[in-house]
């Protein structure tokens, strides 16, 4: 069934997701914060809007963007590295207030496994959330803004580290020395599987659920990034030997078993 789907944030994940949903015969409304990218969205057959969430309110025609949607995908991560004093929570509260003025009843909120923090062992959707970064703390608070409203059908998708075209942590880590946590498992997911999981949620009944999206392979960081660097002709990163702490956090999903979703793109190059 054709749906009118809004994607708030048509960037690295949002733009290819929009194109894929259009291929599936959905009508997609998408946003960018830059007027210069409006033509890019238009050429992709996305109904384009310039929307900018700020602490003080929302710039742009948010009412027009939300007006006819069957489903809204919120794909706006905190930007605390570039604007460390900015409140992501205030931005999401402004968005929630605008949603409450409409008849929109279905939300998919793209979050991160950073909300689990440094807890050890097998981590599932039932595990406690103990974020130890500011972005993780604000993401968790933003999740709850939407989950706590019983009138909204909200699904939270917590993705692991994102990899895909022109994006891989090894390009940043290559050649670095004295990196810690080399024995920790990686918890990553490819762009293709991010889109696959989002589309699974769109087409199913996932009301008020939290879903982890992480590829089910967890080599150690040292082994994985050494291998990935060598395959790219890069200098492998060097990890210190931390014998006091053997990390073992492997993030899994109790929902996305092989009968429900089959991961199709390996994290191994």
Domain membership of residue 247 (yes or no) is no
The secondary structure element, H or E, covering residue 87 is: none
173 within domain boundaries: no
Average pLDDT over residues 56-72: 98
Sign of CA dihedral 193, 172, 119, 142: negative
Q: Is the pLDDT of residue 1 over 90?
A: no
Q: What pLDDT does residue 83 have? A: 72
Q: What percent of the chain has pLDDT over 70?
A: 97
Q: What is the pLDDT of residues 115-162, one digit of tens each?
A: 999 888 999 999 999 999 999 999 999 999 999 999 999 999 999 999
**Does residue 257 surpass a pLDDT of 80?**
yes
Residues 219-231 have a mean pLDDT of 97
Indicate the number of domains in the chain: 1
The mean pLDDT of 37-45, rounded to a whole number, is: 97
**For residues 258 and 221, which has the higher predicted lDDT (pLDDT)?**
221
Q: Is residue 14 part of a domain?
A: yes
pLDDT higher than 80, residue 214: yes
Q: Is residue 177 in a domain?
A: no
In the prediction, which pLDDT does 244 show? 59
| pLDDT tops 90 at residue 224 | yes
Q: How far apart are CA 65 and CA 50, in angstroms?
A: 9
In a domain, 263, yes or no: no
Find where tokens 């392979």 sit: 217
Portion of the chain with pLDDT greater than 90, in percent: 90
Examine residue 28 and state whether it is found in any structural domain, yes or no: yes
Residue numbers of the domain that contains 107: 4-164+189-214
Asked if residue 225 has pLDDT above 70, the reply is yes
Q: What was the pLDDT predicted at 17? A: 99
DSSP assignment string, 100-113 = TTS---EEEEEEEG
Q: What is the pLDDT of residue 40?
A: 97
Chain mean pLDDT for the chain: 95
Q: Which of 81, 82, 72 is nearest to 154 (CA)?
A: 72
pLDDT over threshold 80, residue 8:
yes
Instruction: Report the CATH number at residue 34.
Output: 3.40.50.720
Asked whether residue 79 is domain-assigned, the answer is: yes
Confirm whether 222 is domain-assigned.
no
Any idea which residue has 């900015």 for tokens? 86
């Amino acid at each position: 069934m054709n749906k009118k789907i809004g994607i708030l944030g048509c960037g690295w994940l949002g733009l290819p997701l929009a194109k894929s949903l259009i291929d599936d015969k959905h009508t997609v409304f998408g946003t960018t914060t830059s007027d210069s990218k409006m033509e890019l969205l238009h050429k992709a057959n996305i109904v384009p809007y310039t929307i900018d969430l700020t602490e003080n309110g929302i710039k742009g025609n948010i009412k027009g963007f939300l007006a006819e949607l069957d489903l809204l995908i919120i794909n706006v991560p905190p930007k605390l590295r570039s604007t460390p004093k900015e409140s992501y929570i205030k931005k999401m509260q402004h968005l929630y207030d605008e949603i409450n003025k409409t008849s929109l009843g279905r939300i998919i909120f793209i979050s991160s496994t950073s909300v689990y923090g440094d807890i050890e062992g097998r981590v599932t959707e039932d595990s406690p959330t103990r974020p130890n970064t500011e972005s993780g703390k604000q993401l968790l608070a933003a999740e709850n803004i939407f989950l706590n409203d019983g009138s909204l059908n909200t699904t939270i998708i917590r993705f692991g580290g994102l990899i895909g075209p022109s994006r891989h942590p090894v390009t940043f880590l290559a050649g670095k020395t004295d990196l810690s946590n080399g024995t920790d498992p990686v918890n990553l997911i490819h762009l293709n599987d991010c889109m696959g999981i989002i589309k699974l949620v769109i087409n199913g009944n996932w009301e008020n659920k939290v879903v982890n999206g992480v590829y089910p392979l967890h080599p150690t960081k040292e082994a994985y990034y050494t291998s990935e660097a060598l395959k790219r002709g890069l200098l492998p990163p060097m990890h210190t030997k931390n014998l006091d702490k053997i990390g073992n956090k492997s993030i899994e999903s109790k929902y996305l078993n092989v009968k429900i979703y089959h991961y199709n793109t390996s994290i191994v190059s």
